[in-house]
Amino acid sequence: MSSPQHILVVDLETRPDLAILPEDRDPAAFPKPIQHEIITLGFLLARIDHEGGYECYTVRKIGSAGISDRSEREILAGFWNLIDRQRPRLITWNGRSFDAAVLKQRSLIYGLTAYHWHRTDPRFGYDYRYQTNWHCDLMDALSDYGASPRLGLDEAARALGLPGKWNGHGGNVAEQAAAGDYAAINRYCEGDVLNTYVLYLRWAYLSTRLSARSHNASIQNLLDALEAGRQNNPHWGEFSDRWQLSAQPCPLFVAEPVSGPGPQPSESHLRSEDVLP
């Protein structure tokens, strides 16, 4: 079976599709996935490299696709085409409950197909909940699949020293779309993508996909990408600035080992008797 060659972080911003919502619905109830019209699909695509038994990531593109310049059908078709071309590991936050469900159910409306999604590995592929190789719903993984309370993206991001939802809120998206402020929605969505990507890097180090060195190299590569895009995307620069000003104990880089390659405990220079009671 093939392995993913890229990381694809995805986040959706949506609004209720009034054309298919039932008339007798509870106005306070959150619509079902198929009842959400996609406004923006934010993404970060990174190449997966391998070194010494660990992965390392290089950002290729950060951006968003929105209905200000294309149809919802085109957004969906573009997503499935990207999955087919790049065969990535999809990274989401609550994606199994929402983002992936919206993508699949809205695709039914337009008569689209998702070839690689369903042919990669019918048993352990994108739809298999307990395998993170092809689809990692980071919120689900961090809660041990419901064994512990689920974290919100903003809660998790701010705990690590990330900006979190500093530039918007999902509750404002429908109103912003009605006002035609799609640029603000795109900026907010890309902010969520960046938070999710950095949270994934830290989790990938914790779960030993990344070494300390490859984690730090991946972080530096992201910082470089944000700086390179700062002029055309000021919100990228603001994300980077807020992140680097964090007072949390480890917002950016993790401690690297003092010796050569091999198993890398999180603090290799400390003996167990130095830290255990």
- Torsion over CA: 225, 234, 243, 135 (sign): negative
* Confidence (pLDDT) at 257: 85
Please give the structure tokens belonging to residue 11.
């986040």
| 1 belongs to a structural domain | no
- Could you report the per-residue pLDDT of 74-125, keeping only the tens digit for each? 999 999 999 999 999 999 999 999 999 999 999 999 999 999 999 988 889 9
CATH number of the domain residue 205 falls in? 3.30.420.10
Domain membership flag for residue 176: yes
pLDDT higher than threshold 90 for residue 255: yes
- Whether 270 shows a pLDDT value over 60: the answer reads no
In a domain, residue 153? The reply is: yes
- DSSP, collapsed to helix, strand or coil, labels residue 70 as coil
Domain limits for position 249: 6-275
The structural domain count of the chain equals 1
- Report if residue 207 sits inside a domain: yes
Find where tokens 């890309």 sit.
190
Which pLDDT does position 227 carry in this prediction?
Answer: 98
Task: Give the DSSP letter of residue 32.
Answer: P
- CA dist 252 to 26, 54, 120, 185, 222, Å? 44, 19, 34, 26, 11
